[in-house]
């Protein structure tokens, strides 16, 4: 098993399934372009059978972003298909012009999905997986298969389904926690069990695809990776169905920040993360919560006096990664009612004011009065306070 975790981005497919997240084809191309520049290994560009527009968007991404003439390191371009011939044909039609095309086909394997949604017996599911994976493989050499709702499937049945998929030609086996139900220990154990009990799995890449219904998508993804998965399926800003998918930025930065413990890396240029986050947020209209890990507006902001003082002495006191590594120009020390004298003095110096002790004391008093009334004290507020201080002693 190697130590590279492949990043499979599904912002344009599962992410676009977020309520209201629909993007136009030019917007999708723009997002695909930044994902390629960022270095994602696989770009799931859409679900071509869903609509003619989806097919067209995937085709253009395959031709314009995924063609070898554009860039020799261009990502694999993937199209999703249900395990039915028509979907697989549409997926192939859309991705075939890519330098590295992939068809991703899926079929549910949990008892609840098979009984109520598919109305299929286990034996029928096994037969359909064999037929449709081999059909997809007759068109394309890179086939991913997902047993949908694997997180709630009987593991013994999963081993059988995956064995059939491998024999039929699947090259990546993706294990989805479709409804975000599992706990990290459980999901890690599921991946470990699959690796130990599925014949021939060592010839394939095992992938994880987690949803965030219990806020555990990143933890589950990391548990799966620690158990041996070497592909993580993620979206920018964690957008996706219901509570969303695993966030790309969280997994990539966890692997990078804790690489000494984990011993794993990705091909991602992390400095593109903030730009991609903003682009996806603008195009989908889904704003990023301020306290969102890595890409939230407050992710590198410090307000309390104790933290600001620590940061001014040594950044590592309260920062586990430098903001520049994700494309944020610098840490921000937000001046508010929790800020202390050290941060105020530092800001005044950067604004060009070298105040003596007495002037600083007076300014600090007035700053605290203002900060009680105002959430953030801006540089303009400070300029006003200090000119009052200087000109009206
Ligand atoms: O969540 C899910 O099960 C999916 C599959 C199509 C992989 O998105
Ligand atoms: Zn999903």
- For the stretch 225-265, pLDDT in tens is 999 999 999 999 999 999 999 999 999 999 999 999 999 99
Q: So what's the pLDDT on residue 307?
A: 93
pLDDT digit string, tens, across residues 277-322: 999 999 999 999 999 999 999 999 998 899 999 999 999 999 999 9
pTM of the model: 0.93
Q: Cα–Cα distance between 298 and 277 in angstroms, integer?
A: 14
Closest ligand, as measured to the CA of 179:
1
DSSP 117: I
Q: So what's the pLDDT on residue 70?
A: 53
On the question of pLDDT at 385 being above 50, the answer is yes
Q: What is the ipTM of this complex?
A: 0.99
Pocket test for ligand 1, best of 82, 209, 231 (most atoms within 8 A of CB): 209
Asked whether the beta carbons of 225 and 200 are under 8 A apart, the reply is no
pLDDT digit string, tens, across residues 161-179: 999 999 999 999 999 999 9
DSSP-assigned states of every residue in 166-193: HHHT-SEEEEEETTS---HHHHHHHHHH
The stretch 371-392 carries a mean pLDDT of 83
Sign (positive or negative) of CA dihedral 156, 242, 253, 102: positive
Q: Cα–Cα distance between 224 and 231 in angstroms, integer?
A: 9
17 touches ligand 1 (CB under 6 Å): no
Nearest CA owner, ligand 1 atom 1: 178
Q: So what's the pLDDT on residue 393?
A: 45
Q: Angle at the Cα of 168 (from 162 to 170), degrees rounded to 5?
A: 65
Nearest CA owner, ligand 1 atom 8: 14
Asked whether the beta carbons of 53 and 282 are under 8 A apart, the reply is no
Between strands 205-210 and 172-177, the pairing is: parallel
- For residue 267, the CA-to-ligand 1 centroid distance in Å is 23
Asked whether the beta carbons of 184 and 218 are under 8 A apart, the reply is no
106 touches ligand 1 (CB under 6 Å): yes
């Amino acid at each position: 098993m190697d130590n590279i975790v492949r990043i499979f981005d599904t912002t344009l497919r599962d992410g676009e399934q977020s309520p209201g997240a629909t993007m136009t084809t030019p917007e999708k191309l723009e997002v695909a372009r930044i994902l390629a520049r960022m270095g994602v290994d696989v770009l799931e560009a859409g679900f071509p059978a869903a609509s003619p527009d989806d097919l067209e968007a995937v085709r253009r991404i395959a031709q314009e972003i995924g063609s070898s003439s554009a860039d020799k390191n261009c990502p694999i371009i993937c199209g999703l298909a249900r395990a039915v011939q028509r979907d697989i044909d549409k997926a192939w039609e859309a991705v075939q012009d890519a330098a590295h095309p992939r068809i991703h086909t899926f079929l549910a394997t949990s008892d609840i999905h098979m009984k109520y949604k598919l109305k299929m017996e286990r034996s029928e599911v096994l037969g359909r997986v064999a037929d449709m994976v081999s059909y997809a493989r007759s068109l394309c050499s890179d086939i991913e298969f997902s047993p949908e709702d694997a997180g709630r499937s009987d593991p013994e049945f999963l081993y059988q389904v995956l064995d059939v998929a491998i024999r039929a030609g699947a090259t990546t086996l993706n294990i989805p926690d479709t409804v975000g139900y599992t706990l990290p220990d459980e999901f890690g154990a599921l991946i470990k069990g699959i690796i130990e009990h599925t014949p021939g799995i060592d010839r394939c890449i095992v992938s994880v695809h987690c949803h965030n219904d219990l806020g555990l998508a990143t933890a589950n993804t990391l548990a799966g990776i620690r158990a041996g998965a070497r592909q993580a399926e993620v979206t920018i800003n964690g957008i996706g169905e219901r509570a969303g998918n695993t966030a790309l930025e969280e997994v990539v930065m966890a692997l990078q920040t804790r690489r000494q413990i984990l011993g794993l890396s990705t091909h991602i240029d992390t400095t593109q993360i903030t730009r991609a986050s903003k682009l996806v947020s603008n195009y989908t209209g889904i704003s990023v919560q301020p306290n969102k890990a890595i890409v939230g507006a407050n992710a590198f902001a410090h307000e309390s006096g104790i933290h600001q003082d620590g940061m001014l002495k040594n950044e590592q006191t309260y920062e586990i990664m430098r903001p520049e590594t994700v494309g944020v120009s610098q840490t921000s020390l937000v001046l508010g009612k929790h800020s202390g004298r050290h941060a105020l003095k530092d800001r005044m110096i950067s604004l060009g004011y070298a105040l003596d002790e007495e002037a600083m004391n007076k300014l600090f008093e007035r700053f605290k009065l203002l900060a009680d009334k105002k959430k953030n004290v801006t540089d303009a507020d400070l300029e006003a306070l200090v000119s009052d201080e200087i000109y009206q002693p």
